[in-house]
Amino acid sequence: MTRPVVVGLVDSGVVREVRGVEDGQAFALDAAGAVVSGAPAPDALGHGTALARLIRAAAPGAGLLNAQVFGTTFLAAPAAVAAAIDWVVGAGARVVNLSFGLRADRDVLRAACAAAEAAGVLLVAASAARGAPVFPAAYPGVLRVSGDARCGPEEVSDLEGEPAHFGASPVASGATGLAGGASFACARVSGMLAAVLAREPGLGAPAVLARLRALAMYRGRERRGVA
């Protein structure tokens, strides 16, 4: 039996009710500053669960790898995030969703992203429409996604690199209490990429991105107040 397209979800975890989760690991630093891993805890923030549902809505047959790096706050050590990326890539993810942004560049995170890209994995990271660059979205080879209010739930925009590569709806459908934004747009794009791969599993990364651009409903950046 052919394995479904697998999306690595590096975030706050996923509740049991979400279908398609193949495996899970939690990553954190111990008292000595070393990365440790273990069974994931329940999703205390609800963020990862909302993202998982958006990914599965766009790609219902996709498998998910739950790489938990956030516990009760949206704070994670770059080394733990890097270890999570390494794990999902090693476990077979073809798309990795990174719906967050760290303010500082870290060598360990940069190296993990470069290794994933070299393996042909699509890294999809949230990028704010304004403000200073964040990581991993600012790394070369990482697909930057911003919220685009022009887009409906199943639509994507080709932002042509300014301020990001792609845009999608920032609305967190069904995620009561969670604000919308680039993180949810990021998950929608990850799901769309997984759907392209499900239809054409032999495609390489450049061809997958070309397929997604061809589906874009809008081109160029969103300009508020302009029809």
Give me the CATH code for the 6-219 domain, please.
Answer: 3.40.50.200
Q: At what angle do helices 182-199 and 47-58 cross, to 10 degrees?
A: 30
pLDDT of res. 179: 59
pLDDT in tens, 51-82: 999 999 999 999 999 999 999 999 999 999 99
Q: Tell me the pLDDT band of 161, cut-offs 50, 70 and 90.
A: confident
Does position 17 have pLDDT exceeding 60, yes or no?
Answer: yes
Higher per-residue confidence, 175 vs 94 = 94
pLDDT of res. 224: 57
pLDDT of res. 187: 97
In the three-class reduction of DSSP (H, G, I as helix; E, B as strand; rest coil), residue 146 is classed as strand
CA distance 84 to 23: 12
In the three-class reduction of DSSP (H, G, I as helix; E, B as strand; rest coil), residue 84 is classed as helix
Q: Residue 156 contacts by C-beta under 8 Å, 6 or more apart in sequence?
A: 166, 167, 168, 188, 189, 192, 212, 215, 216, 217
pLDDT in tens, 85-114: 999 999 999 999 999 999 889 999 999 999
pLDDT of res. 174: 52
Please give the distance of CA 142 from its chain centroid, rounded to a whole number.
Answer: 10
pLDDT of res. 131: 79
In the beta sheet, which residues pair with residue 218? 157
In the beta sheet, which residues pair with residue 8? 65, 96
Q: Which of 105, 106, 82, 101 is nearest to 146 (CA)?
A: 101
Higher per-residue confidence, 219 vs 113 = 113
Percent above pLDDT 90 for the chain: 84
Q: Which of 146, 138, 182, 191 is nearest to 164 (CA)?
A: 146
Does position 130 have pLDDT exceeding 90, yes or no?
Answer: no
pLDDT of res. 176: 47
Does position 164 have pLDDT exceeding 60, yes or no?
Answer: yes
Does position 2 have pLDDT exceeding 80, yes or no?
Answer: no
Average model confidence (pLDDT) across the chain: 93
A 10 A CB-CB count for 214 gives: 9
Q: Cα–Cα distances in Å, from 81 out to 18, 170, 177?
A: 22, 23, 25
pLDDT of res. 175: 47
Retrieve residue 185's tokens. Answer: 């747009």
Q: Cα–Cα distances in Å, from 53 out to 16, 48, 123, 144, 178?
A: 12, 9, 18, 20, 13
Retrieve residue 111's tokens. Answer: 């190296």
Are the C-beta atoms of residues 66 and 24 closer than 8 Å to each other?
yes
